[in-house]
Amino acid sequence: MIDQAQLELLMHFQPGDVLVTSVYLNVDGRRFTRKEYEILLKDLLRGVTAQLDTQPLTNEQKRSAQEDIRKIQDYVSVEYDGKGAKSLALFSSSGRKFWQVYRLPLPVKSRAVVEPVPSVRPLSVLLDEYKRYCTVVVGREKARIFEVFLGEIQEHSDIFNEVPSRVREGGFRGYAERRIERHIEDHVHQHLKHVADLTLDIFKRRHFDRLILGARPELLPLFESHLHTYLRERLAARLHLDPSLSVHEALRKTLEVEQDLKRREEQHLVRRLGEEAGAHRNGVTGLEATLVALRRGQVHTLILTEGFAAPGFLCPGCHNLTTCDAPCAYCGKPLQGVPDVVEEAVDFAIHQNCHIEYVFNNHELQEAGNIGAILRFRS
């Protein structure tokens, strides 16, 4: 599971005297064979080596970067099993013994750079697409806390509070029994409060986006009443679950909620895009119109069908992207063909601080050309 602490370490990593090598590699099996992306990586790393030779670097910096290149090459050709990821993000600063690898579920434009700090922007934009969920399942005595991110689950701790076993209702309910009942209810309240406090602790450390509560129906409102406002604001679903559930079931239930919410959010976003574009307000749809809006710096949110790719052209002079094979409309230079102009557009949007929303299966967006943008301003 991609760990929040690991990510924060990466975001704030400053190696001082040595440099960091950052590599993004598109390993999407729909586009590349293993051999193809291995060759692509070799070319990228060769480019980095050539770039290092032209810079005035210390011996330590050179040694560290060369070691980075060797380790990255080894990881991709030997260690990476080629399964499950659409792209890899690798960060290395050998002189500081710093090494991190992320396997990502979305494709990204391949690139390699050696810079004073890690190149984290594409990674952070892609991870923004995914919400971190916390699922808390409580019973009268037990509780389980899970965190789910990018389809993986991690259980936080098995919390068990001693609660005296329930007094059965007998024929005669004496004073002592009523007192024991009250004592038990106090324990249940204390237990629920304890679990609510633990959840808040986890929230402060891990910054999850959404909370799912699972409990028996009669316990849900009781537990909710103990939750801090921060947590109540993030409440995404209430489910009828028992703490004896398996980790696998906890994952399945969480992913159901996540997929349902994501589908509804996508529908809402695509509908808004359709309305804005249809009324010629702050929206455009279709590849060429979107590329023009990107070029003009108008794009607030780029919206595209995941997996959408199309050939196009890139101007080597001004980086204009287009689907029209003609001299550049902005600077007049002849254009270069690129195998996937959509990938170039996403990369451009990432570096322009646009939001990027991948939509997984939406008929309306497919009809509108698989791509569009909500605009910051009209032209």
State CA 84 to chain mean position distance.
Answer: 15
Locate 251 and state its tokens.
Answer: 């994952």
- Map the footprint of Zn ion across residues 208-247, applying CB under 5 A: none
Q: Checking phi first, is residue 227 left (phi over 0); if not, alpha (psi -120 to 50) or beta?
A: beta
- Nearest-angstrom CA–CA distance, 282 and 273: 8
> Residue 320 interacts with Zn ion (CB under 5 A)?
yes
For the beta carbon of residue 274, count every other beta carbon within 10 angstroms. Answer: 17
The site that binds Zn ion (CB under 5 A) totals a number of residues, namely: 7
Q: Which residues of 36-68 are buried (b: 16+ CB within 10 A; e: fewer)?
A: ebbebbeebbeebeeebeeeebeeebbebbebb
Among 1, 11, 318, 324, binds Zn ion (CB under 5 A): 318
The residue range among 281-289, 298-306, 320-328, 364-372 that interacts with Zn ion, by the rule CB under 5 A, is: 320-328
The residue range among 195-203, 291-299, 325-333, 358-366 that interacts with Zn ion, by the rule CB under 5 A, is: 325-333
To Zn ion, the closest distance from the beta carbon of 271 in angstroms equals: 35
To Zn ion, the closest distance from the beta carbon of 328 in angstroms equals: 3
Nearer to Zn ion, 36 or 325 (CB): 325
The residue range among 94-102, 225-233, 297-305, 308-316 that interacts with Zn ion, by the rule CB under 5 A, is: 308-316
Among 328, 341, 350, 356, binds Zn ion (CB under 5 A): 328
Nearer to Zn ion, 116 or 334 (CB): 334
Nearer to Zn ion, 230 or 330 (CB): 330
Q: 378, 377, 365, 373: which is closest to 271 by C-alpha? A: 365
For the beta carbon of residue 158, count every other beta carbon within 10 angstroms. Answer: 10
> Residue 317 interacts with Zn ion (CB under 5 A)?
yes
Nearer to Zn ion, 76 or 328 (CB): 328
Nearer to Zn ion, 87 or 320 (CB): 320
The residue range among 51-59, 86-94, 267-275, 319-327 that interacts with Zn ion, by the rule CB under 5 A, is: 319-327
Nearer to Zn ion, 48 or 328 (CB): 328
Q: Which residues of 225-238 are buried (b: 16+ CB within 10 A; e: fewer)?
A: ebbeeebeebebbb
Stretch (H or E) spanning 78 = none
Q: Cα–Cα–Cα angle for 82, 303, 148, nearest 5°?
A: 50
> Residue 324 interacts with Zn ion (CB under 5 A)?
no
With a CB cutoff of 8 Å and minimum separation 6, the contacts of 3 are: none
The residue range among 4-12, 212-220, 258-266, 312-320 that interacts with Zn ion, by the rule CB under 5 A, is: 312-320
Residues that bind Zn ion (CB under 5 A): 315, 317-318, 320, 328, 330-331
